[in-house]
Protein backbone atom coordinates (compact mmCIF):
# COMPACT_ATOMS: atom_id res chain seq x y z
CA UNK A 1 0.00 0.00 0.00
CA UNK A 2 2.82 2.30 0.99
CA UNK A 3 4.69 1.42 -2.23
CA UNK A 4 1.60 2.12 -4.28
CA UNK A 5 1.32 5.61 -2.87
CA UNK A 6 4.95 6.29 -3.60
CA UNK A 7 4.31 5.16 -7.14
CA UNK A 8 1.36 7.53 -7.46
CA UNK A 9 3.44 10.41 -6.26
CA UNK A 10 5.90 9.88 -9.05
CA UNK A 11 3.37 9.05 -11.68
CA UNK A 12 3.74 12.11 -13.83
CA UNK A 13 0.80 13.20 -15.93
CA UNK A 14 2.10 15.53 -18.56
CA UNK A 15 -0.33 17.35 -20.82
CA UNK A 16 0.77 19.37 -23.76
CA UNK A 17 -1.05 21.24 -26.48
CA UNK A 18 0.61 20.71 -29.80
CA UNK A 19 -1.18 22.33 -32.63
CA UNK A 20 2.06 23.06 -34.44
CA UNK A 21 3.94 19.88 -33.62
CA UNK A 22 2.06 16.94 -35.11
CA UNK A 23 5.27 14.90 -35.08
CA UNK A 24 5.10 14.82 -31.30
CA UNK A 25 1.72 13.21 -31.31
CA UNK A 26 3.10 10.72 -33.80
CA UNK A 27 5.88 9.78 -31.47
CA UNK A 28 3.73 9.49 -28.39
CA UNK A 29 0.27 8.27 -28.92
CA UNK A 30 -0.03 6.92 -25.44
CA UNK A 31 -3.00 9.20 -25.40
CA UNK A 32 -4.07 11.71 -27.95
CA UNK A 33 -7.34 13.54 -27.84
CA UNK A 34 -7.71 16.11 -30.59
CA UNK A 35 -4.87 18.54 -29.97
CA UNK A 36 -4.09 17.24 -26.54
CA UNK A 37 -1.26 14.84 -26.25
CA UNK A 38 -0.42 13.29 -22.99
CA UNK A 39 2.32 10.97 -21.92
CA UNK A 40 2.43 9.06 -18.70
CA UNK A 41 6.00 8.86 -17.57
CA UNK A 42 6.63 6.24 -14.93
CA UNK A 43 9.44 6.51 -12.44
CA UNK A 44 12.02 3.90 -11.70
CA UNK A 45 13.52 5.25 -8.50
CA UNK A 46 17.25 5.28 -7.99
CA UNK A 47 18.08 3.99 -11.38
CA UNK A 48 19.88 5.43 -14.36
CA UNK A 49 19.81 4.78 -18.08
CA UNK A 50 23.38 5.36 -19.16
CA UNK A 51 23.11 6.39 -22.82
CA UNK A 52 24.22 9.57 -24.55
CA UNK A 53 21.69 12.26 -23.79
CA UNK A 54 20.07 14.66 -26.26
CA UNK A 55 20.28 17.52 -23.79
CA UNK A 56 21.15 18.19 -20.16
CA UNK A 57 19.25 20.97 -18.33
CA UNK A 58 19.07 22.25 -14.81
CA UNK A 59 15.46 22.40 -13.73
CA UNK A 60 13.39 23.48 -10.79
CA UNK A 61 11.04 20.56 -10.48
CA UNK A 62 11.10 16.95 -11.56
CA UNK A 63 8.07 17.43 -13.83
CA UNK A 64 9.88 20.09 -15.85
CA UNK A 65 12.09 17.37 -17.26
CA UNK A 66 8.98 15.56 -18.50
CA UNK A 67 7.73 18.70 -20.24
CA UNK A 68 11.14 19.21 -21.82
CA UNK A 69 11.17 15.62 -23.07
CA UNK A 70 7.71 15.98 -24.53
CA UNK A 71 8.83 18.93 -26.59
CA UNK A 72 11.53 16.94 -28.35
CA UNK A 73 10.17 14.25 -30.69
CA UNK A 74 13.30 12.13 -30.33
CA UNK A 75 13.10 12.08 -26.53
CA UNK A 76 11.82 8.77 -25.20
CA UNK A 77 12.90 8.85 -21.55
CA UNK A 78 14.89 10.92 -19.09
CA UNK A 79 17.01 10.83 -15.95
CA UNK A 80 16.52 13.36 -13.16
CA UNK A 81 18.92 13.89 -10.27
CA UNK A 82 17.49 12.42 -7.10
CA UNK A 83 18.83 15.34 -5.07
CA UNK A 84 19.15 19.06 -5.90
CA UNK A 85 22.51 20.69 -6.34
CA UNK A 86 23.84 23.55 -4.17
CA UNK A 87 21.61 25.99 -6.02
CA UNK A 88 18.54 23.86 -5.47
CA UNK A 89 18.40 22.76 -9.11
CA UNK A 90 17.93 19.27 -10.48
CA UNK A 91 19.92 17.88 -13.36
CA UNK A 92 17.67 16.67 -16.17
CA UNK A 93 18.97 14.42 -18.94
CA UNK A 94 16.77 13.91 -22.01
CA UNK A 95 17.40 10.57 -23.67
CA UNK A 96 16.94 9.44 -27.29
CA UNK A 97 16.01 5.86 -26.45
CA UNK A 98 14.63 3.76 -23.62
CA UNK A 99 15.55 1.11 -21.09
CA UNK A 100 13.87 -1.66 -23.08
CA UNK A 101 16.15 -1.08 -26.01
CA UNK A 102 19.26 -0.57 -23.85
CA UNK A 103 18.81 -2.99 -21.00
CA UNK A 104 22.54 -3.40 -20.51
CA UNK A 105 23.03 0.25 -19.62
CA UNK A 106 20.06 0.50 -17.28
CA UNK A 107 21.32 0.25 -13.75
CA UNK A 108 20.73 1.06 -10.13
CA UNK A 109 21.95 4.50 -9.13
CA UNK A 110 22.34 6.46 -5.90
CA UNK A 111 22.01 9.79 -7.69
CA UNK A 112 19.29 9.50 -10.30
CA UNK A 113 15.72 8.52 -10.90
CA UNK A 114 14.79 7.28 -14.35
CA UNK A 115 11.51 8.15 -16.08
CA UNK A 116 10.13 6.07 -18.90
CA UNK A 117 6.97 5.55 -20.89
CA UNK A 118 5.20 2.31 -19.99
CA UNK A 119 5.32 -0.21 -22.80
CA UNK A 120 4.31 -3.78 -23.53
CA UNK A 121 8.06 -4.39 -23.24
CA UNK A 122 7.56 -4.10 -19.46
CA UNK A 123 6.26 -7.64 -19.33
CA UNK A 124 9.44 -8.90 -21.04
CA UNK A 125 7.62 -10.59 -23.92
CA UNK A 126 10.74 -11.31 -25.95
CA UNK A 127 11.83 -14.88 -25.27
CA UNK A 128 15.00 -15.38 -27.30
CA UNK A 129 15.90 -11.88 -28.28
CA UNK A 130 19.18 -10.03 -28.04
CA UNK A 131 20.65 -9.76 -24.59
CA UNK A 132 21.23 -6.04 -24.44
CA UNK A 133 20.76 -3.41 -27.12
CA UNK A 134 17.65 -4.19 -29.09
CA UNK A 135 16.20 -6.64 -26.57
CA UNK A 136 12.72 -5.18 -26.94
CA UNK A 137 11.86 -2.31 -29.27
CA UNK A 138 8.91 -0.39 -27.92
CA UNK A 139 6.54 0.83 -30.62
CA UNK A 140 4.99 3.70 -28.70
CA UNK A 141 2.73 4.91 -31.49
CA UNK A 142 0.84 1.66 -31.65
CA UNK A 143 1.32 0.62 -28.02
CA UNK A 144 3.18 -2.39 -29.37
CA UNK A 145 6.63 -3.87 -29.35
CA UNK A 146 9.06 -5.69 -31.55
CA UNK A 147 11.51 -8.37 -30.55
CA UNK A 148 14.85 -8.65 -32.28
CA UNK A 149 15.52 -12.38 -32.22
CA UNK A 150 18.89 -13.98 -31.78
CA UNK A 151 19.92 -16.27 -34.60
CA UNK A 152 18.04 -19.52 -34.64
CA UNK A 153 14.75 -18.10 -33.38
CA UNK A 154 11.79 -16.48 -35.03
CA UNK A 155 8.22 -15.45 -34.28
CA UNK A 156 6.69 -12.35 -32.71
CA UNK A 157 8.21 -13.10 -29.32
CA UNK A 158 11.17 -15.04 -30.74
CA UNK A 159 9.47 -18.08 -29.25
CA UNK A 160 9.95 -20.35 -32.26
CA UNK A 161 13.15 -22.28 -32.53
CA UNK A 162 14.20 -22.50 -36.15
CA UNK A 163 14.87 -26.15 -36.91
CA UNK A 164 18.40 -26.17 -38.29
CA UNK A 165 17.96 -29.83 -39.21
CA UNK A 166 15.19 -29.05 -41.70
CA UNK A 167 17.64 -28.72 -44.58
CA UNK A 168 19.18 -32.12 -43.82
CA UNK A 169 22.71 -30.90 -43.19
CA UNK A 170 24.10 -34.25 -42.01
CA UNK A 171 25.54 -36.36 -44.81
CA UNK A 172 26.00 -40.13 -45.06
CA UNK A 173 23.00 -41.01 -42.91
CA UNK A 174 24.16 -38.94 -39.94
CA UNK A 175 21.36 -38.14 -37.48
CA UNK A 176 20.70 -34.45 -36.92
CA UNK A 177 19.90 -32.78 -33.59
CA UNK A 178 18.76 -29.15 -33.45
CA UNK A 179 20.73 -27.13 -30.89
CA UNK A 180 19.23 -23.63 -30.71
CA UNK A 181 21.16 -21.76 -33.34
CA UNK A 182 23.01 -24.77 -34.70
CA UNK A 183 22.73 -28.43 -35.50
CA UNK A 184 24.68 -31.41 -34.35
CA UNK A 185 25.35 -34.47 -36.50
CA UNK A 186 25.71 -37.89 -34.98
CA UNK A 187 27.68 -39.80 -37.57
CA UNK A 188 27.36 -43.50 -38.38
CA UNK A 189 30.50 -45.59 -37.82
CA UNK A 190 33.16 -44.79 -40.38
CA UNK A 191 32.23 -41.14 -40.84
CA UNK A 192 33.32 -37.99 -39.08
CA UNK A 193 33.22 -34.22 -39.48
CA UNK A 194 30.64 -31.63 -38.44
CA UNK A 195 28.39 -32.83 -41.23
CA UNK A 196 29.64 -36.46 -41.38
CA UNK A 197 31.24 -35.49 -44.66
CA UNK A 198 34.53 -37.26 -43.92
CA UNK A 199 34.85 -40.96 -44.78
CA UNK A 200 37.36 -42.09 -42.17
CA UNK A 201 40.37 -43.72 -43.84
CA UNK A 202 40.71 -47.02 -41.99
CA UNK A 203 43.95 -47.70 -43.92
CA UNK A 204 45.60 -44.79 -42.09
CA UNK A 205 46.97 -47.07 -39.36
CA UNK A 206 48.49 -49.45 -41.96
CA UNK A 207 46.51 -52.46 -40.79
CA UNK A 208 47.63 -54.81 -43.59
CA UNK A 209 50.74 -56.78 -42.64
CA UNK A 210 53.44 -58.37 -44.80
CA UNK A 211 53.20 -55.83 -47.62
CA UNK A 212 49.47 -56.37 -48.11
CA UNK A 213 47.73 -53.57 -50.04
CA UNK A 214 45.03 -51.73 -48.11
CA UNK A 215 41.78 -50.50 -49.64
CA UNK A 216 39.60 -48.13 -47.62
CA UNK A 217 35.96 -49.12 -47.28
CA UNK A 218 33.12 -47.58 -45.22
CA UNK A 219 33.98 -48.28 -41.60
CA UNK A 220 36.27 -51.04 -42.85
CA UNK A 221 39.40 -51.84 -44.79
CA UNK A 222 40.29 -54.64 -47.14
CA UNK A 223 43.74 -56.14 -47.36
CA UNK A 224 44.98 -57.61 -50.60
CA UNK A 225 47.78 -59.90 -49.48
CA UNK A 226 51.14 -60.57 -51.06
CA UNK A 227 51.62 -64.15 -52.29
CA UNK A 228 52.22 -66.55 -49.43
CA UNK A 229 50.08 -64.67 -46.91
CA UNK A 230 46.43 -64.76 -45.96
CA UNK A 231 44.05 -63.55 -43.27
CA UNK A 232 42.05 -60.31 -42.93
CA UNK A 233 45.24 -58.46 -42.17
CA UNK A 234 47.59 -60.80 -44.12
CA UNK A 235 48.87 -61.94 -40.78
CA UNK A 236 48.84 -65.64 -41.68
CA UNK A 237 51.91 -67.13 -43.34
CA UNK A 238 50.57 -69.82 -45.64
CA UNK A 239 52.43 -73.10 -45.08
CA UNK A 240 52.74 -74.25 -48.68
CA UNK A 241 54.35 -77.50 -47.56
CA UNK A 242 51.21 -78.44 -45.60
CA UNK A 243 48.59 -77.14 -48.01
CA UNK A 244 50.33 -79.00 -50.84
CA UNK A 245 50.65 -75.87 -52.90
CA UNK A 246 54.31 -76.30 -53.56
CA UNK A 247 56.41 -77.58 -56.42
CA UNK A 248 59.01 -79.54 -54.57
CA UNK A 249 60.03 -82.80 -56.13
CA UNK A 250 58.65 -85.86 -54.45
CA UNK A 251 62.23 -86.68 -53.46
CA UNK A 252 62.78 -83.36 -51.74
CA UNK A 253 62.25 -81.85 -48.34
CA UNK A 254 59.77 -79.01 -48.37
CA UNK A 255 60.57 -76.27 -45.87
CA UNK A 256 58.17 -73.46 -45.22
CA UNK A 257 59.61 -69.94 -45.11
CA UNK A 258 57.96 -66.64 -44.42
CA UNK A 259 55.81 -65.96 -47.45
CA UNK A 260 57.21 -68.89 -49.40
CA UNK A 261 58.96 -72.25 -49.12
CA UNK A 262 62.14 -73.99 -50.27
CA UNK A 263 62.90 -77.43 -51.56
CA UNK A 264 65.96 -79.50 -50.81
CA UNK A 265 66.58 -82.85 -52.47
CA UNK A 266 66.69 -85.65 -49.97
CA UNK A 267 70.06 -87.36 -49.51
CA UNK A 268 70.89 -89.54 -52.44
CA UNK A 269 69.30 -87.16 -54.94
CA UNK A 270 70.67 -84.13 -56.70
CA UNK A 271 68.92 -81.18 -58.18
CA UNK A 272 67.45 -77.86 -57.29
CA UNK A 273 64.73 -79.36 -55.10
CA UNK A 274 62.06 -78.88 -57.73
CA UNK A 275 63.75 -81.47 -59.88
CA UNK A 276 65.66 -84.07 -57.93
CA UNK A 277 67.07 -86.64 -60.29
CA UNK A 278 69.72 -89.23 -60.82
CA UNK A 279 70.16 -91.38 -57.85
CA UNK A 280 73.84 -91.26 -57.04
CA UNK A 281 75.65 -94.66 -57.31
CA UNK A 282 74.94 -97.36 -54.82
CA UNK A 283 78.28 -96.74 -53.25
CA UNK A 284 77.88 -95.86 -49.68
CA UNK A 285 81.20 -94.25 -48.86
CA UNK A 286 80.39 -93.23 -45.38
CA UNK A 287 79.07 -96.67 -44.45
CA UNK A 288 82.05 -98.34 -46.04
CA UNK A 289 84.58 -96.04 -44.52
CA UNK A 290 83.25 -96.51 -41.04
CA UNK A 291 83.65 -100.26 -41.36
Ligand X SMILES: *[C@@H]1O[C@H](CO)[C@@H](O)[C@H](O)[C@H]1NC(C)=O
Minimal distance, residue 34 CB to ligand X, in Å: 26
Closest by CA position to 184, among listed 198, 192, 168, 195: 195
Minimal distance, residue 255 CB to ligand X, in Å: 4
**Cβ nearer to ligand X, comparing 128 with 138:** 138
Minimal distance, residue 16 CB to ligand X, in Å: 20
Cα torsion angle, 168, 169, 174, 178, sign = negative
Contact 138, 118 (CB under 8 A): no
Contact 104, 122 (CB under 8 A): no
**Cβ nearer to ligand X, comparing 153 with 246:** 246
Minimal distance, residue 33 CB to ligand X, in Å: 24
**Cβ nearer to ligand X, comparing 42 with 161:** 42
**Cβ nearer to ligand X, comparing 230 with 275:** 275
Over 28-92, what HEC string results? CCCEEECCEEEEEEEEECCEEECCCCCEEEEECCHHHHHHHHHHCCCCCEEEEECCCCCCCCEEE
Per-residue CA distances from 199 to 89, 184, 279 (Å): 75, 17, 63
Per-residue CA distances from 287 to 93, 246, 279, 283 (Å): 129, 33, 17, 9
**Cβ nearer to ligand X, comparing 35 with 151:** 151
Interface with ligand X (CB under 6 A)? 48, 50, 76, 97-98, 101, 105, 107, 133-134, 137-138, 172-173, 210-211, 222, 224, 226, 253-255, 257, 259, 262, 264, 272, 274-275
Minimal distance, residue 288 CB to ligand X, in Å: 25
**Cβ nearer to ligand X, comparing 79 with 128:** 79
Contact 60, 73 (CB under 8 A): no
Minimal distance, residue 256 CB to ligand X, in Å: 7
d(CA 77, CA 50): 11
**Cβ nearer to ligand X, comparing 184 with 275:** 275
Minimal distance, residue 59 CB to ligand X, in Å: 18
Amino acid sequence: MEGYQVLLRYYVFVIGIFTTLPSVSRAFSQGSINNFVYVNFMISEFSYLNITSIARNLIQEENDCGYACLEIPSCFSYNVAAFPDVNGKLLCELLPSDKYNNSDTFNASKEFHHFYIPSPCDSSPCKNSRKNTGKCISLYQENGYKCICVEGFTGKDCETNINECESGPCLNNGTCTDRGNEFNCNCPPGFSGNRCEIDINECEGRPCLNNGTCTDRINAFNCSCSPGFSGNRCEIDINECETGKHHCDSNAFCNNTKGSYNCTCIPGYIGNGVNCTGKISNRKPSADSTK
